[in-house]
Each structure stands twice: as structure tokens, then as C-alpha cells.
Structure 1
Amino acid sequence: MLVLDTDGLAATDRYEALRTVAAREGGVSTVEESQPPDRMHKRLEIWHFGPLTLFDTYGTGARFARPLRTARRELMDNVSVMTQAEGFGTAAFGCDGFQRRLAGRGVGLAPHMVAAHEYGWSGIGRSVAFSVELALLDLPVDTVRAAVPRLQHSPVEAILLLQVRELRRHADRLSDDPSAEPLAAATLQLTRALIVSVAGRDRLRRAVRQETLFTRVLVYVRAHLREPDLTPQRIARAHGISVRTLYRLCEQEGVSLEKWIIQRRLEGARAELASPDRAHRTVDSIARSWGFVQPAHFARRFRQAFGSTPSQWRRLARAGSAS
């Protein structure tokens, strides 16, 4: 949901509008813009996935800060996770005396109740972040605080980053969908796993690793769906488990791994076949880009899933968009 676009405001009102929205939505008390009002631009969108609030902030360089002493009472018990979108430069993140440069591959963690934090970038930047109550992570605040400077050493950081980007990519469609709650739960699981992987005691770390294993597997699979060599052996090896354990895990969750992968690939190919932006590509090239190396196999699976051939579906989609 769009909550601010300064392009629609008079130049004299832009900074105050940004400051007001940042304070209301994120408890930010300090906003510094790199450009004068007539050249600044900010676009802020917000979605709610159950208890999780997702933020997308895009525009000219800025610095946002939340000193501990000025925190809003209702946001004091929250934890924020911040990321910098790929292709939009590097951001500066600071929390509890720790400083880190965030490009497209890192995350910043800010526990509001015990630490001030700041975030900003130069040039044109884009931040995708989320906020949630600490109580939902079911972790001691000292553990969360201890994790802040160690996240770059966790293998879970990259997995959580993938999850955040998937949430943003489909936010308009999924935030009002029944799947919003499970998506929030999966994101919280990954956040919990990220924190304890670098700051939890051994027993807690092992327990959370096991609790979040299936979620981590699915995020990994989604990230590598397009790769033809995405085999059960590769998935199991990436998570330090045997193929037998992987199959048992999926069976416990009521998921057939191979069928799940094929269905997600078919859905991705179906969307691209209908997209005007992919009209220049052949059916076979789109199939290959989604991991189907044999055109005949793709066509058969596509017809079984959707009741038409890929070419028929593409013609119907084009006719529908033209009418």
C-alpha cells in the first residue's frame, strides 16, 4: 500500500511529509535528506503480513535515525530487519555502536528496546525492511542484541534475504491473501534461526536449526528453481543432511518434493508465457529458463497442469490482453 510519494506534493511540503510518515510508521525521529526539497524524492509503501509489517522505501539519499530515548512506546518492543535492494548502491547501517555497510547481500538487525539505530544511503537507494514484535521471536533480548554485529557470519543471512525479497516481489498480491500468516510465520522462523545461529547457546541453536529446516529448504528451492541441476542430492547437501532425511522431512510436512518443484516451475513458466515483456522469447527458451531441458516433457507437464499446451495458453493470454 502506497503511503507516501513526494512527487505529488509541493516542494515546500515534501520534507515535512517524509518526516511525519517516518515517525508515524517506523518511530524514526531524525530524517536527513541529501537533496533540497525541489530535488528530493521518496516513495514509501507498506504491507501487513499478519503480525509482520513490510516497508519499501525508495528515493534520493537520506539518513533515518531512531535514538533510544525518543522511541515511541508502542514500537519499543519491536525488532527491525533492514536490507538494501540489489542494484541500488550501498547503505550505511548502525546499531548499538556497531557499523556495517549493507549492499545487496547483507541485513541489519535492530532491537528497538535496547539500542538506537540508523540507516541511510547516498545517490538513489532502495531499502526493503520489516518489523515485528520481539515476543514473537521467543528469544531473550540479550541474545538478539548479541547477534547484531555477527550476522554476516551466519549462513542463514542469505536465506532470510531471499525470503524478504520474495515477500516484496509478491506483496501486493499476498498481503491480503490467506497465505499472509504462514508467510509471516516462515519469515519469523528464519529471523529466529539467523539470530541463534550466531548468538544462541548450542542447545538452542540445534533446536531452532531443526525447527526451521523445512522452511530453509523451501526458501533454498525457490531461489534455485530455474536451475536444471536442482536435485534432491544437491538440496540435501546444501543443508548438511542426507537425501533420506530430506525425503522424510518433506513427507512429514505433506509435500512431495519433486512434484512441488515441478509445479512451481510450471507456474513460473506460465506467467512468463503470458507476459508481454517475454513475447520475443520462444516457448522452448522460456521452458529451459525454468529448468525444463526437454521441450516435450515441459509441454506434457504443462498440459496436465493447466489443460492446454504452452502455445495455446500464450495465444489465449495475448488475446485476453488485447481485448
Structure 2
Amino acid sequence: MLVLDTDDLPESDRYEALYAAVAREGGISALEEGEPASRLWKRIEIWTFGPLTLFDTQGTGARFVRSVRTTRRELAANVSVMTQAPGHGTARFGADNHQRLLAGDGIGLVPHMAASHEYGWDGLGRSLAFTVDLAHLGLPVDTVLDAIPLLGHSPLEPLLLHHIRALHRDADRYSTGPEAGPLADATLHLTRALIVSVAGDDRTRREVAHETLLPRVLAYLRTHLTDPALTPRRVAHAHGISVRTLYRLCEEGGFSLEKWIIRRRLDGARADLAAPHLAHRTIESIARAWGFPNPAHFSRRFHQTFGATPTQWRRHATPARSAPDAPPERPARP
């Protein structure tokens, strides 16, 4: 849901509207803009997934500050997870005496009631973040605080990053559909696992590792979905379990590992075949990119699943395609 686009406002109203939006939606207590009103641009969208709120903030450089002293009561128990979208600048994150640069490959984490924090970037940038009540993570606030400077050392950080971006890509559809609740649960499981992987005691780590094994396996599969070397043995090895245990875990989760992988790859290929900016790519190259090295096998599986050949689907999905279209980009700010 679009909350604000300052380009829709007179220059004289932009800063006040922006501050009102970030204070209301994100509990920001101070805002420093890097541009005058004539050059200021911010676009803010939010989506709700059960107890979780996802934010997409993009625009000109700024510094957002949240103070413990001024955090509103209804937001005080929240935890924020902040990331910078890849290719959209480098952000400065600071919380609880910890500073970190986030350039699309890291996560900033902070519980609102226990630590002030700031987040910002220069030039054009874009942040993807979510907030959730600490109670839904089921972890002590001290454990969350201990994790803040250590997240970059966890192998689970890339899994959560990939998951957040995948959640954002289809947020309009997922947030209003039956997937919203399960996706929120998966996000919380991965966040909890990330925190305790660097800050939990041994007993908590073991408990959370067991509880979150299936969400971690699914996140790993999504992250490596296009890799042709993605095999059950590799997945099992990455999680310290046997292949037999992996198959049993998937069976208990109600799905077949091989069928899950093939269906997600087919879904990805189908989306790419309909994408105007990929119209210059051959069907065979798109199939290979999604882990189907054999064109005949890909075409057969595609037809069995969707009731049309890849060629028929592409023709139907993009009937007016006359030349490859580049994805729209916002022009450089003046």
C-alpha cells in the first residue's frame, strides 16, 4: 500500500508530510534530509503480513533516527530488521554503540525499547525493512541486543536477506492472500534462528535449530533455486543432517522435495517468459537459467504443469511485444 510519494505534493509540504509519515508508520523521532525541498523525493509503501509490517522506503539521501526516550508506547515493544536493497546505495546503520555499513549484503537489527538507532544513506537509496512485536520472536531482549554486532558472522544472514526480498517482490499478492500468515511465520522463524545463531546459549540454539529446521531448508532452497548443482545431498550437508532425515522432514511438511524444486523453477521460468524486459532472451536460455539444461524436458514439464508450451505461454502473456522493453527506471534527480 502506498503511504507517501512526495512528488505528488507541493515543495512546501514535502518535508512535513514525510516526517509525519515516518513518525506515524515507523516511530521515527528525528529526520535529517540530504536535499532541499525542491530536490527531496521519498516514496514509502507498507504491507501487513499478520503480526509483521513490511516497509519499502526509497528516495534521496536521509538520516532516520529513533530514540528510546521518544518511541511511542504502541511501538516500544517492536523489533526492527533493516536491509538496503541491492544496487540502491550503501546505508549507515547504528544501534547500541554498534556501527555497520549495509550495501545490500547485511542486516541491521534493533529492539525499540532497549536501544536507539539510526539508519540513512546518501544519494538515491532504497531500504526494505520489517517490524514485529518482540513477543512473536519469543526471545529475551538481551539476546536480541547481544546479536546486533554479530549478525554478519552468521551463515543465516543471507537466507533471511533473500527471504525478505522474495517477500517484497510479490508483497501486493501475498499480503492479501492466504499465504500471508504462513509467510509471516517463516520470516519470524528465520529471524529467530539468525539471532540465536550468534547470541543464544547452547540449549536455546539447539531448541531453535530444531524448531526452525524446515523454514531454514525452504529458505536455502529458494536462495539456491537456480543452481543446477542443488541436490538433496547438498541441501542435507548444508544443514548438518542426512538425506534420509531431509526427506522425512519434507514429508512431515507435506511436500515432495523434488516436486517442490521443479514447481518453483517452472514458476520462475514462466514469470521470466512473460517479462517484457526479458523478451530478447530465448526460451532455452531462460530454461537453463532456472535449472533446466534439457529444452525438451523443460517443454514437456512446462506443458504438463501449465497446459501450454513455453512458446504458447510467451505468445499469450505478451501479445503486444514488438521489441524488448527495459524495466522502467526513475530518472536521475535534478
Provide TM-score, normalisation by structure 2.
Answer: 0.94
Q: Which residue of 2 aligns with 1:60?
A: 60
Alignment of 1:85-124 (within 5 A): 85-124=85-124
Q: Which residue of 1 aligns with 2:195?
A: 195
State the superposition RMSD in angstroms. Answer: 1.3
Q: Which residue of 1 aligns with 2:51?
A: 51
Distance 1:319 1:125 in 2: 35
Distance 2:285 2:210 in 1: 38
Q: Which residue of 2 aligns with 1:238?
A: 238
Distance 2:320 2:206 in 1: 52
Q: For structure 1, which segment, 210-219 or 270-279, has the greater mean C-alpha deviation from structure 2 after superposition? A: 270-279
Structure 2 residue matching 1:195: 3-state secondary structure: helix
Structure 2 residue matching 1:155: 3-state secondary structure: coil
Distance 1:320 1:51 in 2: 41
Structure 1 residue matching 2:123: 3-state secondary structure: strand
Distance 1:286 1:142 in 2: 47
Deviation at 1:320, TM superposition (A): 7.9
Q: Which residue of 2 aligns with 1:257?
A: 257
Distance 2:166 2:185 in 1: 14
Alignment of 1:121-270 (within 5 A): 121-270=121-270
Q: Which residue of 2 aligns with 1:17?
A: 17
Q: How many residues align?
A: 322
Q: For structure 1, which segment, 72-81 or 141-150, has the greater mean C-alpha deviation from structure 2 after superposition? A: 141-150
Distance 1:314 1:119 in 2: 42
Q: Residue 285 in 1 paired to residue 285 in 2?
A: yes
AA at the equivalent of 1:94? G
Distance 2:318 2:2 in 1: 30
Distance 2:178 2:64 in 1: 33
Deviation at 1:287, TM superposition (A): 0.9
Structure 2 residue matching 1:68: 3-state secondary structure: coil
Structure 2 residue matching 1:225: 3-state secondary structure: coil
AA at the equivalent of 2:24? R
Name whichever structure is richer in helix by fraction.
1
Deviation at 1:90, TM superposition (A): 1.1
Provide TM-score, normalisation by structure 1.
Answer: 0.97
Q: For structure 1, which segment, 197-206 or 265-274, has the greater mean C-alpha deviation from structure 2 after superposition? A: 265-274
Which runs of 4 or more aligned residues in structure 1 lie more than 4 Å from their structure 2 counterparts after TM superposition? none
Deviation at 1:35, TM superposition (A): 0.6
AA at the equivalent of 1:187? T
Q: Which residue of 2 aligns with 1:318?
A: 318
Residues 195-252 of structure 1: CA distance to partner in whole angstroms, max 9, x if unpaired?
A: 1111111011011011111111111111111121111111112222221111111111
Distance 2:120 2:273 in 1: 39
Q: Which residue of 2 aligns with 1:83?
A: 83
Q: Which residue of 2 aligns with 1:74?
A: 74
Structure 2 regions of 5+ residues with no counterpart?
A: 323-334
Q: Which residue of 1 aligns with 2:272?
A: 272
AA at the equivalent of 2:245? T
AA at the equivalent of 1:307? G
Q: Residue 2 in 1 paired to residue 5 in 2?
A: no
AA at the equivalent of 1:200? G
Distance 2:9 2:143 in 1: 43
Residues 145-164 of structure 1: CA distance to partner in whole angstroms, max 9, x if unpaired?
A: 11111111111111111111
Deviation at 1:175, TM superposition (A): 0.8
AA at the equivalent of 2:244? R
AA at the equivalent of 1:270? R
Deviation at 1:266, TM superposition (A): 0.8
Distance 2:179 2:98 in 1: 36
Residues 52-93 of structure 1: CA distance to partner in whole angstroms, max 9, x if unpaired?
A: 000011011100001111010100000000001111121111
Deviation at 1:48, TM superposition (A): 0.4
